[in-house]
């Protein structure tokens, strides 16, 4: 089992958290999260971060590793993830990486190294004062591949992608420097059953509201102010518009559902471009036992090879 990494990936709301916990318990290892928003402390409900009860079932690492005011990038995530994987391999255990952030997964499992473009404070200050819609349109022209995988409200990553393009003269998507990760990788995907996924997104959105997502947003806005970039990301932006009186709560929830479905579609476009993913399609509740059985079979075969 030494030197092996199992990746469980898929779009948002596909059920990765529950299946990842089940697999972590089966293997006796922690879950290494690959989610670009779950790295931030205090952003819990809206990022679908594992609940305290779920964390009791299996240890989760690589969540809550950054302050909401920090800029957390792929390079930093890659370094932290590889350090955790190295520790597990040193203990002769496989590593389990679970998440839906395609670039994070590619950086670790695919050996992709982030572009070596240092921060340009002057350029960043110029980008920061421009309307986000204009920046996203510019990115679509300069680097359409990167634009396809980003949410149009993700100002932090849109600005970084533009910074790389403008500072280097080359799109971020072309500056990939893959190297062999140094371990064997099995990547399993769930969530390509589109009809079931759309229903799960709507149900989960309502559950998150019931769990107190709006209260979470109010506290974050009061603590960090309205200019915090994370408050302009998926879900937090729509609830912020409701709190500002721009839309009513039902409209905010409907927008979250629509935008999350659009985000899931972009994720699936990304994952379909990855040729080495073994897909387990079913998301129907009645098929969960079969889903687990097929996942277990693939993992066992991989670990014995």
Is residue 110 a known part of a binding site? Answer: no
Is residue 13 a known part of a binding site? Answer: yes
Is residue 12 a known part of a binding site? Answer: yes
The Cβ of residue 246 has, within 10 Å, a number of other Cβ atoms equal to 11
Is residue 46 a known part of a binding site? Answer: no
Is residue 116 a known part of a binding site? Answer: no
Phi and psi dihedrals of 214, rounded to 5? -65, -40
Is residue 233 a known part of a binding site? Answer: no
Is residue 15 a known part of a binding site? Answer: yes
Is residue 174 a known part of a binding site? Answer: no
Residue ranges at the known binding site for ATP: 10-17
Binding residues: 10-17
The binding site for substrate comprises 12-17
């Amino acid at each position: 089992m030494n030197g092996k990494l199992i990746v469980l990936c898929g779009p948002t709301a596909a059920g990765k958290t529950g299946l990842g916990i089940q697999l972590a318990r089966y293997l006796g290892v922690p879950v290494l999260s690959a989610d670009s928003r779950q790295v931030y402390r205090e952003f819990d409900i809206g990022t679908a971060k594992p609940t305290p009860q779920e964390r009791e079932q299996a240890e989760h690492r690589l969540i809550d590793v950054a302050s909401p005011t920090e800029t957390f990038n792929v390079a930093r995530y890659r370094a932290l993830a590889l350090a955790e994987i190295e520790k597990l391999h040193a203990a002769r255990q496989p590593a389990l990486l679970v998440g839906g952030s395609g670039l994070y997964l590619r950086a670790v499992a695919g050996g992709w190294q982030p572009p070596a473009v240092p921060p340009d404070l002057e350029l960043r200050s110029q980008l920061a004062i421009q309307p986000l819609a204009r920046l996203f349109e510019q990115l679509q022209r300069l680097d359409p591949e990167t634009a396809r995988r980003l949410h149009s409200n993700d100002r932090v990553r849109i600005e970084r992608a533009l910074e790389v393009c403008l500072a280097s003269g080359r799109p971020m998507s072309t500056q990939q420097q893959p190297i062999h990760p140094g371990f064997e990788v099995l990547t399993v995907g769930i969530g390509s059953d589109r009809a079931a996924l759309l229903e799960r997104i709507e149900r989960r959105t309502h559950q998150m509201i019931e769990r107190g997502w709006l209260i979470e947003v109010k506290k974050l806005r009061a603590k960090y102010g309205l200019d915090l970039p994370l408050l302009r990301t998926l879900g937090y932006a729509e609830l912020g518009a409701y709190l500002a009186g721009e839309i009513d709560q039902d409209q905010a929830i409907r927008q979250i559902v629509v935008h999350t479905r659009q985000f899931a579609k972009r994720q699936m476009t990304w994952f379909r471009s990855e040729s080495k993913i073994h897909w387990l399609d079913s998301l129907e509740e009645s098929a969960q036992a079969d889903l687990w059985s097929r996942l277990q079979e693939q993992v066992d075969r991989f670990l014995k090879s």
